[in-house]
Every structure is written in C-alpha cells, then in structure tokens.
Amino acid sequence: MPYTVFDTPIVVHIFRLISRITFLLMGWKVEGSAPAGEKSVMIAVPHTSNWDFLFMVMVSFQLHQKIYWMGKDTLFKGWKGPVLKWFGGVPVNRRSRNNLVDQMIETINDSSSIILTIPPEGTRGHVTEWKSGFYHIAVGANVPIECSFLDYGRKRGGVGLSLMPTGDIDKDLEEIKSFYKGMTGKRPEYFSIDYIRTKKADDAKDDGAEGESSEVADK
C-alpha cells in the first residue's frame, strides 16, 4: 500500500496528539481496539454526515490504524494524485472488467496485512438497504467483518464486534444489527438500524465503492 501520513515520522504523532486533544475537548472517547487479525473487512456505521470520515480518521489515529479511502482513479489525475495518496487515497478503476468486489478481494489476497473499511450505507442520506459488497468481499477473501462505529449519542467511537461470515447474509446481518442497535448518527433522522436490510446478490457486483469514497485501512 502507498506511503501515507500514517507512516510519516513525527507527523503521525502530531496528528495522533491532535486527535486525542480534540476528542478530550469535545467529550468523546474511543472504545475497543484495532482488529487483532492481519486481514479483515471493516464496516463504518452510521454514515450520515461528512464529519463521519474526519471522526473515523481521528479514531484510527488513536487506535494506531492506517486509514485508506477508495476513490475513482480519475480523481488522482495530475498533481492531486500524490497528495491524495499521501492522505490515504487508493485509486479504483471502475471501468475494469472486474467488478469492485473482485478487485477488493484481489487486493486483500495480494496484501500481507490489510483492513478494508467500507460504509455499507453507501450514502449520507437515509437508506433502508445496505450495499452488500462488504459482505461478499469478506466471504470471497475469507476474512472477518469488523464493526467500527461512531455513536454521536454517547460520544463514543471505536471498533467492536468481530464476525466471521457464515455465508448466510441474513443471519449474519441480524447479529451485526444487534451490535449497532441504539447507536445514533450525527443526523439521527438518517439512521435507524431496525429498518436495514441488504441488497440482493444481483446488486452486489459493483457496490464495494459506490459514488462516494470508501475507506481502506491497512494495518
């Protein structure tokens, strides 16, 4: 994976300190710990605001995780490419014959240590369906699903439930929903875990990184 701000001496420590001070001043705390395994798929929930990405970056600094985010390769043209990559950007070719799920499975298989983080809601607005790409990536790469969270109601962020997918997406989703039950997004009207279900398999071919950026964390 590319060399990023998380690998840069002194700079990473400065951002880690800033993250801790910011959380302290805002009354936020970090719970849980970074995934114990070398490889996993991490879902980021709830996702209702642009602030979520910044908060998750601060959580990751404090948990000593290296965060990457996926974006269309066209965003990395010219001088912006090196800058975006240094800030964790990973270009994804959405024009490739291989769909994004297959691309991410290949990325995980080719990496010695990687945590791929995806917001399954796929948008900051209200949704009743999660994009199931995260699940099919975890199954295809034979890695666990880690549940990261930002609970604005309790002012807590971190990483909690670790689940090895069984292949029964409906069964596993119920366990994941139980973990997120009662959590509040920054815009509470946009998030209710009780109504969430996943898109069917036919919709999963290209939903690993829909429109907006997703995040990839490389441990």
Which regions in the chain score pLDDT beneath 50?
201-204, 209-218
Q: How many CB atoms lie within 10 A of CB 40?
A: 25
CA neighbours closer than 13 Å in the CB half-sphere of residue 190: 16
Q: Calculate ∠ Cα 40-44-46, nearest 5°.
A: 155
3-class SS string, 86-109: HCCEEEECCCCCCCHHHHHHHHHH
The per-residue pLDDT for 10 is: 95
Q: How many CB atoms lie within 10 A of CB 116?
A: 29
203: left (phi over 0), alpha (psi -120 to 50) or beta: alpha
The per-residue pLDDT for 204 is: 47
Distance, in Å, from the CA atom of 50 to the CA atom of 54, rounded to the nearest integer, reads: 8
Helix (H, G, I), strand (E, B) or coil at 32: strand
Strands (E), the chain: 29-32, 39-45, 67-72, 89-92, 114-118, 129-130, 145-151, 156-163, 197-198, 214-217
The per-residue pLDDT for 18 is: 97
pTM over 0.85? The answer is: no
Compute the 3-state secondary structure of the chain and give helix, strand, coil in percent, each to the nearest 5.
Answer: 40, 20, 40
